[in-house]
Amino acid sequence: MGIGLHWDVWGEDERSFDLSDHRAVRDEFARQLDAFHRLMGRAPTHVDSHRHAHRELAVSELFRELVEPLGVPLRHDGRVKYVGGFYAQWEWMVTELKYVGVEFLQQLLRDETTADRWTEIGCHPGYVSDDFQSVYLTEREHELRTLTDPRVRQTIRELGITLCNYDDHARLTRGTGTSARAAAGAGKRPWA
């Protein structure tokens, strides 16, 4: 199973963290990577960050340097196309469920996936529980219902998309020089 490191220094309470402090960024990356290894017993299959922090000008080069020895994709590094439109709060704390509905996801799949590259569709599915609080909470259950809707599965079949994860990406592309299309099978659209 593909499991990545989601680097986060703000959390749900949006505490402050100075991204320009490269020593603190390095230390926090090392701490979170160590915790990942301890909890998962393996390295991450990819790396991304909360609020896409790793793309901030102050740390983008540093993140490439930190992730490069892992040999895994860093979101937006060009190896996997990232599509983040499947999200119900395009405006902070204003929920519009149409953006995580079946019809929207079907259109997103038609418009944003291509046969010649891996594509990651960002999503946040889950269940509401007493032990987790978030400004993005009930939306998670709606995402889950959409992602498991038979109409979405049918659209995936019609488009020839092969559902994959980052572990598959590593297995099929590492050191082969093989394109994503050839790795997933000609005429298929890999979707990591």
Spell 27-46 as b/e; 16+ CB within 10 A means b.
eebeebbeebeeeeeeebbb
* Integer Cα distance of 9 and 50 in angstroms: 8
As a whole number, the mean pLDDT across the chain is 88
CA of 3: how far to CAs of 36, 80, 98, 192, in Å? 10, 15, 28, 11
Q: Report pLDDT for 158.
A: 95
How does pLDDT run across 87-131, given as a tens digit for each residue?
999 998 899 999 999 999 999 999 999 877 899 999 999 999 999
C-beta atoms surrounding 140 within 10 Å: 19
Residue 190 — pLDDT band, cuts 50, 70, 90?
low
What proportion of the chain, given as a percentage, has pLDDT over 90? Answer: 71
Q: Report pLDDT for 5.
A: 95
Q: Report pLDDT for 116.
A: 77
Task: With beta carbons less than 8 A apart as the criterion, state whether 177 and 79 touch.
Answer: no
Instruction: Phi first, then psi: give them for residue 82, nearest 5 degrees.
Output: -105, 130
Q: Report pLDDT for 180.
A: 43
Q: What is the mean pLDDT of residues 166-178?
A: 75
Helices (H), the chain: 22-40, 60-67, 102-112, 138-147, 150-159, 166-173, 180-184
More confident residue, 55 or 186: 55
Q: Report pLDDT for 178.
A: 43
Contacts of 145 (CB under 8 A, 6+ apart): none
Q: Which of 170, 161, 164, 162 is nearest to 46 (CA)?
A: 170
Would you list the domain boundaries of the chain? 5-70, 81-191
Q: Report pLDDT for 175.
A: 59
Give the rounded distance of the alpha carbon of 107 from its chain centre.
19
How does pLDDT run across 12-61, given as a tens digit for each residue?
667 788 999 999 999 999 999 999 999 999 999 999 998 899 999 989 99
Tokens linked to 186 = 């000609």
